[in-house]
Amino acid sequence: RRRSWQMRRDGPALRARPNAAHEAVARLEKAGVPVRVITQNVDGLHPLAGMPERKVLELHGTARAVQCTHCKARSSMEAALERVAAGDPDPACESCGGILKSATVMFGEGLDPVVLGEAVAVTKACDVFIAVGTSLQVHPAAQLAGLAADHGARLVIVNAEPTPYDDRADELVREPIGTALPALLERITAG
């Protein structure tokens, strides 16, 4: 665990910044369009781009927080890493002294049923479902694209490679996400 904390402290993950696609989604939401983000990414870039956290469903959790394996208390990764930088090689939970881990879903762990349930509800109710930068092969998240189409949503897939849901899509975009998504969102809201 000590080596893992050092790798997190010295690694580039928490220095990542939102790109044009993240910012385009946030602009769309700020313009009054009802937007929800369902993501498998753990990078926390949608909230950093300006999306309200309550409108972002992080299916696999977030690397920007830590969670106690015993009492489930959550706090910021930044605060835990500050403790590491100050000399604590394996910071414990400040509530109960338990072991802290990244607030991400680890291999073998199930998704949070509340977050997944909310994602399913949002998916069933949406008018447009845009799957961006995903192979649509990691389940249960991959099934959301088909679920949206089954409930009458327009399905748009933005991905460099083919996916198992391409035949269900109303539109396929094979261009770089950073330029394709902002243009797509502008076109969708204008039309």
pLDDT exceeds 80 at position 191? no
For residue 151 the two structure tokens come to 């409930």
Burial 35-68 (b: 16+ CB within 10 A, else e): bbbbbebbbbbbbebebeeebbbbbbbbbbbbbb
Position 9 confidence tier, pLDDT thresholds 50, 70, 90: confident
Structure tokens at 77: 């990764």
pLDDT at 20 over 90: yes
Residues 83 and 174 in one domain: no
Tokens of 57: 């469903």
Say yes or no: 114 and 27 in one domain: yes
Given 74, 89, 104, which residue is the final one in a domain? Answer: 104
Q: Write out the residue range of the structural domain in which residue 163 sits.
A: 19-35+53-59+110-190
26 and 81, same domain (yes or no): no
Residue 172 lies in a domain: yes
Q: Determine contact, residues 3/81, Cβ cutoff 8 Å.
A: no
Residue at which a domain ends, from 104, 120, 135: 104
Q: What percent of the chain has pLDDT above 90?
A: 85
Q: Is the pLDDT score of 130 beyond 80? A: yes
Mean of the per-residue pLDDT values for the chain? 94
| Per annotation, catalytic residue among 22, 46, 60, 139 | 60
**What does the pLDDT average to over 138-151?**
95
Residue 134 lies in a domain: yes
Supply the CATH number for residue 177's domain. Answer: 3.40.50.1220
Instruction: Tell me, yes or no, whether 6 lies in a domain.
Output: no
Asked if residue 10 is part of any domain, the answer here is no
Please state which of the ranges 3-7, 55-59, 98-102, 180-184 shows the lowest mean pLDDT.
3-7
pTM: 0.90
Place of tokens 């369009």: 33
Q: Is 60 a catalytic residue?
A: yes
- Is residue 180 domain-shared with residue 139, that is, in the same domain? yes
**140 prior amide bond cis, ω within 30:** yes
User: Is residue 41 a part of any domain in this protein?
Assistant: no
**What confidence category does residue 108 fall into, taking pLDDT thresholds of 50, 70 and 90?**
confident
In a domain, 114, yes or no: yes
pLDDT band at 158, cuts 50/70/90? very high
- Please check whether residue 157 is in contact with residue 145, taking contact to mean a CB–CB distance below 8 angstroms: yes
Asked if the structure places residue 5 within a domain, the reply is no
Whether residues 183 and 146 fall in one domain? yes
